Amino acid sequence: MTINDVASASAALRSAEDQRQARGRITDEWTGLDLATAHQVQAETVRAKVAEGDRVVGTKLGLTSRAKQQRMGISSPLTAVLLESYVLPADVPVPLDRLIQPRVEPEIVFVMGKRLQGPGVTAATALAAVERVHAGFEVIDSRYRDYSFALPDVVADNASSACFVVGSTSVAPDQIDLLLEAVALSVNGQTVATATGAAVQGHPAEALALAANELGSRGLAIEAGEIVLTGGLTDAVPIGDGDQIVAEFTHLGALVLTGATSKKTGEDNA
């Protein structure tokens, strides 16, 4: 398939996802893919999924921490769309059979009480629009081989979105110091990373403001009731069959995620 426009780029990425077959960078084939056009590819994928019955439930930020930016070699945060099909209930294992190369990252999650749209949104106005703060896990799954991409590639790929979990503990935004809220991430009992909310753009509310302003520049908004994932606090860690990943937050509770194949999740493999 020749990739030289929005429709063909979106189709190629959806095919990689459906076939569980990682692919090369879109920008290697379509060298003219710029950031604005990559957002159109992302929107086309969302449009196609919604046409098949999915639903937009929020916004995510990616690459908001130095840990993630350094790992991916990209210093620009980005936004993407959260779909209902990405929601993973807290007690359900990560469905490894449906994913290509999943990685897990702990995040601070906002549930919005008010609509937010840039330009001019500050961290203070952003936080005032938040109803509840939760801990969360995001499971990312790049459709690019070995997570190798340039910024337009990953924007087109809806920022590697695959699944996310929102923890059941929640607090009002004025009842928690998100700058100092800490997380310890462990894999199979070994602590592999720690971070505080300051790792996310200096403060998770700064990330939220950034998203509102970026969406506003494209005529979009974060709606009341929507979920916002503010970006991985730490680098993401791979998850395999039988792995248990725990994120222990100081005030937002502890989340546990396990990886399982369909045999273990009880899904029909036929």
Where do contacts with ligand 0L1 occur on this chain (CB under 6 A)?
Answer: 60, 62-63, 68, 72, 138, 140, 142, 147, 154, 159-160, 231-232, 236
Amino acid at 268: D
Is the CB of 156 or the CB of 159 nearer to ligand 0L1?
A: 159
The whole-angstrom separation of Cα 101 and Cα 262 is 16
Q: Of how many residues is the chain composed?
A: 270
Torsion of CA 129, 132, 134, 140, to 10 degrees: -40
Residue 193 touches which member of ligand 0L1, Mg ion, none, C-beta under 5-8 Å by kind: none
Residue 147 or 171 having the CB closest to ligand 0L1: 147
Please choose which of ligand 0L1, Mg ion, none residue 63 contacts, taking the beta carbon within 5 to 8 angstroms, the exact cut-off set by kind. ligand 0L1
Residue with Cβ nearer ligand 0L1 (195 or 236): 236
CB of 108 to ligand 0L1, least distance (A): 12
DSSP 116: B
The CA angle 268-136-171, to the nearest 5 degrees, is 135
Out of 232, 235, 248, 252, the only residue in the binding site for Mg ion (CB under 5 A) is: 232
Question: Distance (Å, rounded) from C-alpha 164 to C-alpha 81?
Answer: 12
Three-state SS letters, 198-248: HHCCCCHHHHHHHHHHHHHHCCCCECCCCEEEEEECCCCEECCCCCEEEEE
Q: How many residues bind Mg ion, per CB under 5 A?
A: 2
Residue nearest to ligand 0L1 (CB): 62
Closest CB to ligand 0L1 among residues 23, 68:
68
Residues that bind Mg ion (CB under 5 A): 138, 232
